[in-house]
Structure 1
Amino acid sequence: MSLQAVLVANRGEIAVRVIRTVQALGLRAIAVYSDADAAAPHVRLADEAIRLGPAPAAESYLSVERVLQAARDAGADAIHPGYGFLSENAAFARACVDAGLTFIGPSGDAMEALGDKVSAKAAANAAGVPVLPGLSRPGLTDEDILAFADGTEDVFPLMVKAAAGGGGRGMRVVHERAQLAEALGAARREAIAGFGDDTLLVERYVPRSRHVEVQVVADTHGGVVHLGERECSLQRRHQKVVEESPSPVISAATRERMGSAAVELFRHAGYVGAGTCEFLVPYDTPDEFFFLEVNARLQVEHPVTELVTGLDLVELQLRIAGGHPLGLTQDDVQLRGHAVELRICAEDPSSGFLPATGTLEGYAEPRGAGIRVDSGVALGSEIGSSYDSLLAKLITFAPDRETALDLAVHAVGDLHLLGVTTNAGFLARLLESPEVRAGDMDTSMIERGVAAVGPGEADVVRAAVALAAIERLLLSEHDAGASADPWDTLVGWRIEGEAPIEFKLLPPGAKEPIVLHVSGSPADLLVTHGEDEWPGAVERVDATRVAVRIGGRRTLWHRAARGQERWVAAGADAFAFTVVEPAVQGADAAGSGALEAPMPGTVLSVRTAEGDAVSEGDVLVVIESMKMELSLTAPADAVVSAVHVSEGQSVRQGQAVVELESGED
């Protein structure tokens, strides 16, 4: 291979993924990082790592000049952009070539033709691929879009989409004219923050549909093949969370028609490298499809295609960039078995999938045949709000779909990320739902509540009981290592023997703690909660795992701690608790009349001031976290008594941002 040293212009799990294949091919792998990622796994894995700048993406991963300078400093001869950031930036692709570097991806011209949703839709239309009606042309202004909505009958519901990028950012569904102006502004802001380009288009929104995409690879010798389709209908906020290949509803005949359409479009554009053609498939007529967009890059969900085809897509990218032919024809591509991918994200499903932050105080990956984990984090990783919420991908492969789904449910139960809230438990419940098992899916089913977003109350109490037992064991271990002086022990005593220990464990969002009493020794203990009693025992297995036997049932729990915070997990759900001290029990820092920040982030705008009279639903403050905007609205008619934040200010979760008083006399 003519390439010698590849700089990976990205971070997280994709940087790790690319670096591994680069090194497996005997090439030198160069990582780049921001200050927030100085200790990240991709930095440690690479042969060399170069600092780009501070945490903000605009000053690090989105800075073309800094990335190119890093390549020059490291002596790289090629750049792999991963996905997101600069991966679909035609100017960056051209700048790499101008700097004498090989850009591992399509040319700037092909990227502009297909990577931008506006030009791609025009190209698809010209090629005879069905497209959705709407308004799509370069340079659309808000006024153009508003005029289109006013002059077209039955235009709503309407989808507003950023022309650049992907991942659901810069997208808004608008159901009526009064919502359109606000949606346009929010979509443009997200597009600028995520992709540096606020170009928009609008198209008719189909309420119930499937999202199916076709993987294409093309070389410089005229070879273009498709690698089958991926089912990507399980989404929240228009972002995929579960993908699989092949789709459970696409027939062999439809697969051939979709694949041929994608190949023809890529061939016409002179596309070179790996890319994906995305289609909307009506729920009731899975043999129909409409062009959505082209992703002119590798995609997050590429591992499921790798597993069912037996091909390494990153290796193909590198060989194509090195001038080699594909080495396979369409007849050589055979889909065998079934693969499922779960995107493990730092987010809270019970709070509308809002991003979450924290430090990974506990981390364990599943192992076994048919299980693959692509991770960008490790024990001790700091999960902030500067970048995307994706932490890791769990991928399973089996001979058939049902077995692959079963394996995924089992594996996610053995994936433990303690210290930050994730969607792992929700994904396990989602895969267990009858609709998913039957392949009866569409892009809005998560919003319809097909799976419980969080564990039940009984599960929370069970976790609290286990934690109390574990804390009792830890106190005994402490005392065993203490001096003979009874005043050094932490377990209390009475004349008649050891005193029960009281634990007050506060779940997130709860007003009152769960109060538990533990009596006896770790080998023979009794946990009580009100009138309920749980006899059992607890023993240490290793540094991070403890076996708890309650009522004859033995369960292995992972446990982690930081200060007064505790996390335990015995399956896909991780349970967080705060050990409440009596002095602070029942404290409410925000007060009853406050709007609180539901997630850590940065204040984008403050739209009210002290003394303002506001109406229910008025937007008072807009916060951004992990490239997502959230508007805080007045819960009722009120008067603003205080504003505690300003634009550009960082806020923590639960921080009071606006104080309100009743507007009634």
Structure 2
Amino acid sequence: MSARLKEISKVLVANRGEIACRVFRTCKKLGIKTVGVFSEPDRNSQHVHLADEAYFIGPAQSTLSYLNQEKIFEVVKRSGANAIHPGYGFLSENSDFARKCAEENVIFVGPPPQAIFDMGIKNKSKELMIAAGVPVVPGYHGSEAASNLEALEKEALKLGFPLMIKAVKGGGGKGMRIARSADEFMSQAQSCQSEAEKAFGDGALLIERYIEAPRHVEVQVFGDNHGNCVYLWERDCSVQRRHQKVIEEAPAPGLSLETRSKIGTAAVNAAKAVNYSGAGTVEFIVENQDFYFMEMNTRLQVEHPVTEAITGLDLVQWQLMVAMGHELPIKDQSKVPGPFGHAFEMRVYAEDTMAGFVPAPGLVHALRTPPNCRVESAIVEGDQVSVHYDPMIAKVVVWGESRTEAIKKADVALSQFNAAGVETNVDFMRKILRSKPFQQDVVTTKFIEENRESLLGKRELSSEHLALATVTLSAIQDYNKGQTLVRRFRLNADLNTNLSLKNDDDKELQVKIQHSDASGQSNYSVQEIGDCSASNVEKKGNFYEMDVTVGGKKLSVAAALGGGDAQNVLSIFTPENSFNVEVCTLGPVDKSQMDSEAGGAGSSGSVKSPMPGTLEKVSVKAGDNVKKGQQLGTLVAMKMEHIIRSPCDGTVEKVHQQAGQTVGKGSNLFTIKP
């Protein structure tokens, strides 16, 4: 097979955020000019600044901007770009878009349209894999029942439960539900179909046997237009919440050399079955040393940096070379470098882990990232994590000589990732890295669920936390000569003499503050903790750095005060963990006001929005009787569908919002009379 070489002189990246920034960096390295596109809320985003030129393409709604093919091709013509890199998500796995590129004589930096189509239709891809001899999970992939839920239910009863219901055109953890019994199959299928229609414009479904505790192992493959195809080792992506990856690593631990060779060969056979070229990922479910084809992602993956870390290759550069018609830089599987050492990627999300991993968009008013590792991000200090798109802030990538060393480096790197103004999952990921099961065992996709209590158990602020907050805040006040105090507690004292602090349980702490001595050290005495001090206070950007000693224990502390919607929040970061406290001006605080401002329900039947979003569906009306857990409505936020359920048995007293209305976090949605 031969291919004519085509030079890429200018690339339009039909995407946003960190992947657009990632592609731009490699293009600049190769001397290729770049074009960016942006929606209304992305006008000042980093990918816009990194592009050589950038064009406005529409409002926040993706269907009117990043998914609007007409707008994209208008920019191609205006800019003179002769290639499009789709990134991941949005149009990256849209075969019609890839075909349109060919019609417009624009180089598509991705696989052939037919390969995207064949692997994008999950039922068709399973049939192709069976023909190619690639092991697949037992299931039903027939097209005649794909959109007919009643027909699909009959097939489900034949297969038995539990079953995984998947959108035929799904991906990224969306359009997936588990049905554990016949009784819940229809409701789960309806929810899956609804989410699939919104995310992919197609509600067709397939079903397959659900393996309770599998590993999620994926193989990076690369093909060219000359018939060459190799695999660049594998990644383990088993640490997931809500079917979305949190921590990825390469190579996958616990695989024998024989299995590593077999799964890599199977992935190459899968790619060759559709004449694949470019970067792709073949995903497998793994039980012990057995593996089954799950799906193929016909694009560059979010987690591709860990493969780059263990091979030393630039996968975006390979994509561009293949798109221009060159052969793969390495065609012989035995010459593929690595795997060298071990690498981890940690996805830092703006989310409230304790509330069930709900997105927590907002202003990142203070940000610092670890200095000695790779950080992929499009967020800088002062940026908004938008409610309209994925809540990922950054990807932190580390490499070590061994898995043990890489885990230690990953924990240190996360301790140095400090984002103030939004809730993040950083401490949650640090708990994962520190847990013995993760360090010692080969984990499955059930890892988070099985270790929920240790990873997600409610953390009460201890006396040490309270003392640390008090000392840090007082040191900041000494530095700024300000008049701010901790709001989380009831305060009755003068800042310059004594403080009487009460926590939420009305436990009182006496704090005596002394002015800075000649050495610049501020000294404090806290009941039950003892002598405390703060020294070496410096302000670097929006962070205050200092050494704080609490009860004989010295910690390096970084703190940020206020900003954006978090004007009254003090964020504290230590090598051990991070936490927030609310602050206010000096003076007594009304206890009832505190309860109200803390987001109290007011009554046990008040149902509030857990995040900003659109209340797409209202399933009840005033006067309806409901059971605890019954669906009241559906909230759509950050590309995900969230079911709003009743907190108790009772009667719907009031429906506060109408379907289609945009709501903020904490907005009253329903009132249920218990």
Confirm whether residue 585 of structure 1 aligns to residue 590 of structure 2.
no
Give, as a single letter, the amino acid of the residue that structure 2 aligns with 1:604: E
Q: Distance in 2 between matches of 1:615 and 1:165?
A: 32
Q: Distance in 2 between matches of 1:100 and 1:469?
A: 64
Note the C-alpha offset of 1:572: 6.8
Q: Corresponding residue for 2:650? A: 638
Confirm whether residue 444 of structure 1 aligns to residue 455 of structure 2.
no
Note the C-alpha offset of 1:424: 1.0
> For 2:580, what is the secondary structure of its paired residue?
strand
> For 1:659, what is the secondary structure of its paired residue?
strand
Aligned length, in residue pairs: 639
Q: Corresponding residue for 1:557? A: 557
Q: Corresponding residue for 1:400? A: 402
Q: Corresponding residue for 1:307? A: 309
Alpha-carbon contact 1:468-1:516 (below 8 Å) kept: no
The correspondence for 2:633, drawn from 618, 621, 644, is 621
Note the C-alpha offset of 1:646: 1.2
| TM-score normalised by the chain length of structure 2 | 0.90
The farther-off stretch of 554-563 and 17-26 is 554-563
Confirm whether residue 521 of structure 1 aligns to residue 515 of structure 2.
yes
Q: Distance in 2 between matches of 1:188 and 1:573?
A: 40
Give, as a single letter, the amino acid of the residue that structure 2 aligns with 1:551: G
**Structure 1 unpaired stretches of 5+:** 482-490
Note the C-alpha offset of 1:457: 4.1
Note the C-alpha offset of 1:493: 9.4
Alpha-carbon contact 1:468-1:518 (below 8 Å) kept: no
Q: Distance in 2 between matches of 1:516 and 1:386?
A: 45
The correspondence for 1:535, drawn from 532, 535, 549, is 532
Q: Distance in 2 between matches of 1:614 and 1:492?
A: 45
Q: Corresponding residue for 2:154? A: 147
Give, as a single letter, the amino acid of the residue that structure 1 aligns with 2:400: A
Q: Structure 1, residues 360-401: CA drift from partner, whole Å, max 9, x if none?
A: 011111112xx2111121101111221112221111111111
Q: Distance in 2 between matches of 1:289 and 1:298?
A: 22
Identity, % of aligned positions = 37
Q: Structure 1, residues 520-566: CA drift from partner, whole Å, max 9, x if none?
A: 2253332536x554522244223213212223333222222122122
Distance change in 2, residues 1:399/1:366 (3 Å):
same
Confirm whether residue 411 of structure 1 aligns to residue 423 of structure 2.
no
Give, as a single letter, the amino acid of the residue that structure 2 aligns with 1:639: T
Confirm whether residue 343 of structure 1 aligns to residue 358 of structure 2.
no
Q: Structure 1, residues 280-325: CA drift from partner, whole Å, max 9, x if none?
A: 111xx32x11110000000011111111111110000000001111
Note the C-alpha offset of 1:476: 2.5
Give, as a single letter, the amino acid of the residue that structure 1 aligns with 2:522: D
Note the C-alpha offset of 1:81: 0.6
Residues 168-183 of structure 1 mapped to structure 2, 5 A cutoff: 168-183=173-188
Q: Structure 1, residues 614-656: CA drift from partner, whole Å, max 9, x if none?
A: 1222211221221222222222221111111111112222222
> For 1:521, what is the secondary structure of its paired residue?
coil
Q: Distance in 2 between matches of 1:347 and 1:100?
A: 42
> For 2:87, what is the secondary structure of its paired residue?
coil
Alpha-carbon contact 2:475-2:534 (below 8 Å) kept: no
Q: Distance in 2 between matches of 1:600 and 1:511?
A: 30
Give, as a single letter, the amino acid of the residue that structure 2 aligns with 1:199: A
Residues 13-92 of structure 1 mapped to structure 2, 5 A cutoff: 13-92=18-97
Distance change in 2, residues 1:643/1:514 (3 Å):
farther
The correspondence for 1:224, drawn from 219, 229, 232, is 229
Give, as a single letter, the amino acid of the residue that structure 2 aligns with 1:336: F
> For 1:230, what is the secondary structure of its paired residue?
strand
Q: Distance in 2 between matches of 1:412 and 1:290?
A: 33
Confirm whether residue 661 of structure 1 aligns to residue 673 of structure 2.
yes
Confirm whether residue 158 of structure 1 aligns to residue 156 of structure 2.
no
> For 2:657, what is the secondary structure of its paired residue?
coil
Q: Distance in 2 between matches of 1:492 and 1:512?
A: 13
Q: Corresponding residue for 1:193? A: 198
Alpha-carbon contact 1:465-1:527 (below 8 Å) kept: no
> For 1:214, what is the secondary structure of its paired residue?
strand
Q: Distance in 1 between matches of 2:493 and 2:275?
A: 80
The farther-off stretch of 451-460 and 633-642 is 451-460
Give, as a single letter, the amino acid of the residue that structure 1 aligns with 2:356: G
Q: Distance in 2 between matches of 1:128 and 1:568?
A: 55
Q: Distance in 2 between matches of 1:653 and 1:498?
A: 37
Note the C-alpha offset of 1:450: 5.7
Distance change in 2, residues 1:267/1:386 (3 Å):
same
Q: Distance in 2 between matches of 1:38 and 1:513?
A: 48
**Structure 2 unpaired stretches of 5+:** 1-5, 484-490
Distance change in 2, residues 1:374/1:511 (3 Å):
farther
Give, as a single letter, the amino acid of the residue that structure 1 aligns with 2:53: E
> For 2:174, what is the secondary structure of its paired residue?
coil
Note the C-alpha offset of 1:175: 0.5
| TM-score normalised by the chain length of structure 1 | 0.91
